[in-house]
Amino acid sequence: MRSFKSIQLLTILFFSIAINAQEAATEKYKVTRDVLWATPGNTELHMDIYSPEENDNRLPVLIIYHGGGWLINTKSIMDEMSEYIAGTGKYVVCNVDYRLLTANNNTTPMNAIIEDAMGAVLWVKENIRDYGGDPEQIAVTGDSAGGQLAAMVMQGQELLGACGLSASQICFKPTYMPEGVVVETVKKENLLAVQAAVISYPATDLLAACSGNGPGTGFESASNFFWEMGNGKPRGIFGDSLNAKDHSSLYKKVSPIYTIPEERKLPPIFCHVGEEDNTTPPAAVGAYVNSLRERGADVLYKVYPDQPHAYLDSGSNEFLGTSFENNAIGPIRDIISFLDNVFYQATGSEKE
């Protein structure tokens, strides 16, 4: 029988319940919902695209990856954040779904989820003009598990390739690629390049999390309850045959803390976390930020007092005592300010 402490820990770990999320009333944008952008393994992937009602110039684009431990939630958990940012009239927002670990009969490996996140960027760059966006001004963001995905998109250029997943290596091949484009071209021409990244309380070290040696420990063994919440049978993130102890290099290749480029200059980054976050605590996120800075990255870092995990989620979470209105607005305003500084202040332009 599971202890209450274990269930409590796992609930805090990644679970956030959106309650009474409301549509924002605004005339500044329109929403095209459930745009189908890829179908890997017969799993349909969609995104909601928020675009300006009237705008003569193409706007910068923000791509959002939701959190939920790669096991629960959908893009709907980021609805209110998407609405708030789109409501400024300054950004086209793409709120993206990706495969969960339980997709395709509980067989999806972690590398495939990262490939979904990468593929979404390539789809957006090819199609976003139709929605008023500028494909040369792209920012990515995500929270918790989504923060890991946004970081891997930003950092993963050097890991692209056609080798796939084996016991000894991983190469990432984006789920979606433009017609006639091969993965070697994506890598050589840096087609995944983004101009900014907002990394929100990210999961940074999956090796530690899956080995029982850090925050979020015991993901593959003690987290049976969490897997069941996602309607999946507990297994390793790469399948049962590739565990963290014997295949640590694979787990490092999907961990932002281990995949920071040595030479390539990263775009401006805003990284933030809550002071009271016990899932991705400030110590872990701060270590990631320090590693970024050691490699020359320009990083704005904030620790928000009294904030727990998942403070950007839509609706309210009774267990955490959070709500979008009370917890998310301040950090989202900081996100908008950061993005404005990247995309508008440098050019001296500003939207009314």
DSSP track, 203-220: ---HHHHHHTSSTTTTTT
- The pLDDT value recorded for residue 52 is 87
Pairing relationship of beta strands 92-96 and 45-52 according to DSSP bridges: antiparallel
3-state SS assignment for residue 162: coil
What are the Cα distances from residue 295, in Å, to 53, 193, 298, 303, 348? 41, 18, 9, 21, 29
Helix 110-127 to helix 145-155 angle (10° resolution) is 70
> What CA–CA distance (Å, rounded) separates 199 from 205?
14
Pairing relationship of beta strands 269-274 and 196-200 according to DSSP bridges: parallel
212: its two tokens: 């029982």
Q: How far does CA 76 lie from the centroid of its chain?
A: 14
> What CA–CA distance (Å, rounded) separates 193 from 253?
19
- Identify the DSSP state of 267: P
- The pLDDT value recorded for residue 5 is 35
Burial of 46 (0-12, 13-18, 19+ CB in 10 A): middle
Side by side, which strands form the sheet with 59-65? 29-38, 45-52, 92-96, 59-65, 133-143, 196-200, 269-274, 299-304
Instruction: State the 10-residue block means of pLDDT for the chain, 352 residues long.
Output: 36 39 56 98 96 88 97 97 96 98 95 98 98 98 98 97 96 97 98 98 95 56 71 90 94 98 97 97 98 98 98 95 97 98 74 44
Q: Are 27 and 37 in contact (CB under 8 A)?
A: no
**How many other C-beta atoms lie within 10 A of the C-beta of residue 228?**
13
- The pLDDT value recorded for residue 4 is 30
> What CA–CA distance (Å, rounded) separates 193 from 198?
14
- Identify the DSSP state of 9: H
What are the Cα distances from residue 36, in Å, to 44, 66, 71, 91, 121? 7, 17, 21, 21, 14
The residue extents of the domains of the chain are 4-344
Which of 3.40.50.1820, 3.30.300.170, 1.20.120.1730, 1.10.357.10 would CATH assign to domain 4-344? 3.40.50.1820
Burial of 152 (0-12, 13-18, 19+ CB in 10 A): buried
Instruction: Note the helical H segments in 51-142.
Output: 79-86, 103-106, 110-127
176 in the Ramachandran plot: left (φ > 0), alpha (ψ -120 to 50) or beta? Answer: beta
